[in-house]
Homo-oligomer: A and B are copies of this chain.
Amino acid sequence: MLLSNACEYGLRAALYLASLKQEGYVPIRKISGELDISFPFLTKIFQMLTQAGLLTSYRGPNGGVALSRSADRIRLREIILAIDGPALFEECVLGLPGCGEQKPCPLHARWAVERDRIEQMFAASTLAEMADKIGSPDVRLKSLC
């Protein structure tokens, strides 16, 4: 699996927030209901995103979470880094520590190309851009059943 469960949930939830195009805080309970993600687990994930500065949160009635910047200035790469860390974009495909140009594994040259492309793909994708797609009738953020 490319991304951890937590990271998949975090991306989906952030895209959902961006798709609302709404001022103000959205309760985590609502998001977890909409996306079929367990509320306590999603709470933990949002805490990571809040600590990373990608979300702001507010307690109490009418509280919840909100994007800390406009959705066109948050890139998916940032969310992945906040939740899963940089491993995906740095590690050897064979798991060898220190694999790089100097001491490569046999796959390094080929994998490094794809790894960089994946990082570029996530770095080039903003929440706004991706959330826009949710307007299309078939595009979805949750399981069908």
Contacts and interface: CB of A to CB of B under 8 A. Distances in A.
Interface of A: 1-3, 5, 8, 11-12, 15, 76, 87-88, 91, 93-98, 102-107, 110-111, 114, 117-118, 121, 125, 130-131, 133-134, 138-144
B93 A107 contact: no
A138 B104 contact: yes
Contacts of A3: 93, 95
Given A98-B144, A114-B121, A121-B114, A2 B93 contact: yes
Contacts of A15: 106
A134 B105 CA distance: 8
Contact of A12 (B94, B97, B110): B94
B1 A87 contact: yes
Given A1-B87, A98-B143, 18 more contacts: A1-B1, A2-B2, A3-B93, A5-B95, A8-B93, A96-B141, A96-B142, A96-B143, A97-B143, A103-B138, A103-B140, A103-B144, A105-B140, A106-B131, A106-B139, A106-B141, A107-B130, A117-B117
